[in-house]
């Protein structure tokens, strides 16, 4: 029957794959390129089976040169295509930093609006999987510093599936950061999928005592912390930023105005973190709404350890988030 919806259980990884498949089916200009995205199915299995369905012209394995294939993606976007560039992990994007920051982000401005770069770059971010110091970075805050880029951090299955379509429709480059700890996350999705906005924060749990601001891989930890706090009769609101650039200032300020306390969770290191940007926003524009100093829960400032117990100790946890929230309410 037309107009009916169905619900299915699938993983975050599968939701991303469905978003890719939908985009490839909808527009012949769309293609995926990156290391091992073809026959291997992607380093994290996101593009599995897409090569057989769409062929090597649209699912393109590339040489091990992030600068080269990101640059190729920029050229394809300038030429009218809609490329999706997959960078295996965020640390490898540093090898394409010149292409992303000096070229993709700047071309529209430097050409006086004559040229657009409708490029999507997907990459895995974050720690928690024992990949040690070189493959556990959270650098999305670095990219959120750059005008000309949009920076997305889907933390739910709905966003994982739905953010790609509006990202491809955007005339400017969009970076999508997929937290590696979420790939196996299971949940329900409806068919047909609901439309997803490219930007704008979302309240994932309403509350009245303290705002927990999170995004991406930190969102489940914030939700777990809110459950723990509820047992102590502390009503935490969980705000999912969803996009770091543009940041939804209004949603952050509105939540703080309701709860009068804020804890910002960010897996990046504390110094110069995106959490500092959010706290600065609150201090500049909602200082007199606060009943307690803002709190930040970030990673310990060491290269992320390989040993599991040390890695866990270095990262934000639900326990650390709950403890910070208790401090804001004086418990």
For tokens 């953010």, name the residue.
163
Q: How many CA atoms lie within 13 A of 262 on its CB side?
A: 27
Given 135, 137, 179, 260, the catalytic residue: 135
250 and 240 Cβ atoms separated by less than 8 Å: no
Given 14, 66, 237, 311, the catalytic residue: 66
The length of the chain in residues reads: 331
Tokens of 127: 């720690």
Burial of 274 (0-12, 13-18, 19+ CB in 10 A): buried
66 included as an active-site residue: yes
Cα distance between the two ends of the chain = 54
Tokens of 131: 């990949």
Residues 6+ apart with CB under 8 A from 26: 165
Backbone angles phi, psi at 213, to 5 degrees: -95, 125
130 dihedral zone (left: phi>0; alpha: psi -120 to 50; beta) = left
For tokens 């291997």, name the residue.
40
Question: How far is Cα 241 from Cα 200, in angstroms, rounded to an integer?
Answer: 7
Task: Note the Cα 101 to chain centre separation in Å.
Answer: 18
Neighbours of 207 (CB within 10 A): 21
311 included as an active-site residue: no
3 and 146 Cβ atoms separated by less than 8 Å: no
Residues 6+ apart with CB under 8 A from 6: 190, 191
Q: How many CA atoms lie within 13 A of 58 on its CB side?
A: 21
Active site residues: 66, 135
């Amino acid at each position: 029957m037309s107009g009916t919806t169905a619900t299915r259980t699938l993983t975050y990884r599968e939701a991303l794959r469905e978003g890719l498949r939908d985009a490839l089916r909808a527009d012949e200009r769309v293609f995926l390129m990156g290391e091992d995205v073809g026959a291997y199915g992607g380093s994290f299995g996101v593009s599995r089976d897409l090569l057989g369905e769409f062929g090597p012209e649209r699912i393109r394995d590339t040489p091990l040169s992030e600068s080269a294939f990101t640059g190729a993606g920029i050229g394809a976007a300038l030429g009218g295509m809609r490329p999706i560039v997959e960078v295996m992990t965020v640390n490898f994007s540093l090898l394409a930093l010149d292409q992303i920051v000096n070229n993709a982000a700047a071309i529209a401005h430097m050409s006086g609006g004559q040229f657009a770069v409708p490029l999507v770059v997907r990459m895995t971010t974050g720690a928690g999987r024992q990949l040690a110091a070189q493959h556990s970075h959270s650098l999305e805050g670095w990219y959120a510093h750059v005008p000309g880029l949009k920076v997305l951090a889907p933390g739910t299955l709905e966003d994982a599936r739905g953010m790609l379509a509006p990202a491809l429709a955007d005339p400017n480059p969009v970076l999508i950061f997929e937290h590696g700890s979420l790939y196996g996350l299971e949940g329900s999705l409806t068919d047909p999928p609901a439309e997803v906005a490219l930007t704008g924060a979302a309240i994932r749990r309403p509350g009245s005592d303290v705002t927990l601001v999170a995004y991406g891989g930190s969102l489940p930890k914030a939700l777990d912390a809110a459950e723990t706090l509820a047992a102590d009769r502390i009503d935490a609101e969980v705000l999912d930023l969803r996009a770091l650039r543009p940041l939804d200032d209004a949603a952050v300020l509105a939540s703080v105005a309701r709860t009068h306390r804020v804890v910002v969770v960010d897996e990046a290191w504390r110094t110069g973190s995106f959490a500092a940007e959010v706290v600065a926003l609150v201090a500049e524009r909602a200082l007199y709404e606060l009943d307690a100093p803002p709190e930040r829960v970030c990673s310990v400032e060491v290269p992320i350890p390989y040993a599991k117990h040390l890695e866990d100790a270095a990262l934000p946890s639900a326990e650390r988030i709950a403890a910070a929230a208790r401090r804001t309410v004086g418990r």
